[in-house]
Amino acid sequence: MKIEVSVGEAIDKLSILELKLIKIPDENKKREIQKEINVLNECQEYKQKYDFYYNLLMYVNERIWDMTDVIKSINIEDPNFASISNNIFEFNQKRFRIKNWFNLLCESNIKEQKSYASNCCNIVVENENTFFNKLPEINYLSLEYDVITFESPITNIIQDFLKIPTIIYETEIKEHFYDKTIVVNLTDFVIPNNEKTEIYSFTPIPVTYLAGGGLPPSLPPITYLAGGRLGDFINSLSVINEKFYETGRKGVVYLSDRGDHFSNGLVNTYNDIYPIIINQPYIQDFKIFEHDNEPIDIGLSCWRNSSLLNHQNWYYIYKQTYNVKWGKRQWLNCSIEDEWKNKIVINTTSYRWPSNFNFNLLRDFYSDDELLFIAASKHEHNFFETKTNIKINYHEFKSFSELCTIINSCKLFIGGLSAPLSIAHSLHKNRICCLFDECVGDANMAKNLDQFIPQLRYSL
C-alpha cells in the first residue's frame, strides 16, 4: 500500500526517525528504524537542498521529544505541567510552519492546512546594519508566526536575501493581515534565553545564487589571507565586510606576516585582536595561517601590487583590486564606555609625524580636561609634548579591545596615519585625519577619503 503525503510530512517523518536513531539505545529497534529511513531515501534530496530548514526541524522535534519525556514523568497536578504542555503545543506550531515551508518551496501536491486563523508579525528593520546583525532573530520570528512582513527602507535588500516562503512583500497582500499583526522592532528584539541562538544562525543566500531555482545548501565562506601591518589589516577588513553584504558569504580569515610584519609579532597580534575580530558579523572564523596548501580565495595584501599604489587614495586602490566600495559601511563594532564620551582623543607617532596639522589650535576649542593623548608607550606621548610644547593628559591602552572602545566612545578622534586612525575609519567615528608631507605616497592614499566615508575631515 502506498499513500501520497506532502513533502513536508515526509521530511518531518525522516527527522523523527533520525532522532529515534539517536535517542533509542536498543539495537534491534534501530535496525527497524533504519529500514524506515531507507524507504524515505527520496527525501535526502530535500534534506540537502534545504539543509538550514531541516536542521531547524530537527531542533524543534528534539525539543518536543524532550518535553514529552518530561510531561510523561509528572502528573497533572505538577505546577510545571501546564507550562510544559503549552510549550509542546507552541513547538508543534513551529513544526507545522517548517513543514509548510518545505511544501511551498517544493511545490508539494498535498499541503496540510490548520483550522485556525494565521498570525502575522511585521518586523521593523531600521537599516542594513541591523538586518545583517539580526538574521538569527528574523529566523526565530519566522518560526513564531505564520506570516512575516517587513517595514523597512531596505526591503529590496531583504527580499534579495531572505527566501522563507511565508514572508510577504506585496503590499496588497500584507494589508490583509494588518488587523492581526504584531509589530516587532528588530533593533530591540532578543531571542529568549531558553532558545539556542546558534540554531537560528545561517548564511543568507542572495537572489543572484537562485538562477537555477530553489535554494542551494548554505553557501561556503570566502577564505582570506591577511598580513600586516595592523593598520593595513584593519583597512582590509572592509573588503570582507563589503563582500559579505554583496554575496551573503562570511569570511574565514587567516592572519600571516605576508605583506608586512606586525610590530608586536604575529602571534601576539592575533591573540590581542581576536576578541574583536571574531565577533564581527561578517567573520565566520579567524586563524593563524600555518599551511601553504590552505585554500585561499582572496589575498588581502594584493593591493600592494596595484598600479594606483601611492598615487590614489585607499578607496580607488581597493576598488581596483577587489571591486568593492571600500569603507561604504562601518566594518568594526565594539563597546562604548561613558568614561571616554567627552574626550578629544589624540594619537600620533614619531615616525609619521603630522607636520601639516597645528595642534596648538586645540586650545582654542577644547579644555585641558577634554584633551587626552593615547598610545601604547610613553615614548609617543613624550615626543608629542616635546614637538608641540603642549602638556596633555595621557592614557596608555593595554589591549586592542581597550583601544577600540576608547575610540568608539570619544567625542572626537584626531590621529596621524597609524592603526588607531584605521580603527576610527572602521567605526565611522567623528575624526580628523592628520596628514604629513614627508612621504607623498602615504599622504596620497589618505587624501580625499571624506568623499567616500562619513564623519571624516582633515582640519579643525
Nearest C-alpha neighbor of 326 from the set 246, 257, 253: 246
Which pLDDT score, from 0 to 100, does residue 38 have? 93
Give domain limits for the chain.
7-105, 120-208, 222-322, 338-457
Q: What is the percent of the chain with per-residue pLDDT over 70, rounded to a whole number?
A: 93
CA distance 403 to 406: 5
Residue 21 has pLDDT above 80, yes or no: yes
Average pLDDT of the chain?
A: 90
User: Are 84 and 67 within 8 A, CB to CB?
Assistant: yes
Q: How many residues appear in the chain?
A: 460
SS (H, E, C) 245-282: HHHCCCEEEEECCCCCCCCCCHHHHHHHHHHHHCCCCC
pLDDT band at 174 (very low <50, low <70, confident <90, very high): low
Which pLDDT score, from 0 to 100, does residue 211 have? 40
CATH architecture classification, 338-457: 3-Layer(aba) Sandwich (3.40)
pLDDT band at 132 (very low <50, low <70, confident <90, very high): confident
| Strand 371-375 versus strand 393-396 pairing type | parallel
pLDDT band at 203 (very low <50, low <70, confident <90, very high): low
Which pLDDT score, from 0 to 100, does residue 212 have? 42
Which pLDDT score, from 0 to 100, does residue 443 have? 81
Exposure string over 194-209, b if 16+ CB within 10 A, otherwise e: eeeeebbebbbbbeee
Q: Treating both helix axes as pointing N-terminal to C-terminal, what angle do 314-322 and 230-247 enclose, rounded to 10 degrees?
A: 50
- pLDDT tens, 279-312? 998 999 999 999 888 899 999 999 999 999 989 9
Which pLDDT score, from 0 to 100, does residue 213 have? 41
- pLDDT tens, 311-333? 999 999 999 999 999 999 999 99
Nearest C-alpha neighbor of 224 from the set 202, 205, 243: 243
- pLDDT tens, 396-445? 999 999 999 999 999 999 999 999 999 999 999 999 999 877 667 788 89
The single-letter code of the amino acid at 260 is D
- State which H helix or E strand residue 1 sits in: none
**pTM for the model:** 0.69
Which pLDDT score, from 0 to 100, does residue 31 have? 94
Which pLDDT score, from 0 to 100, does residue 173 have? 61
Which pLDDT score, from 0 to 100, does residue 99 have? 95
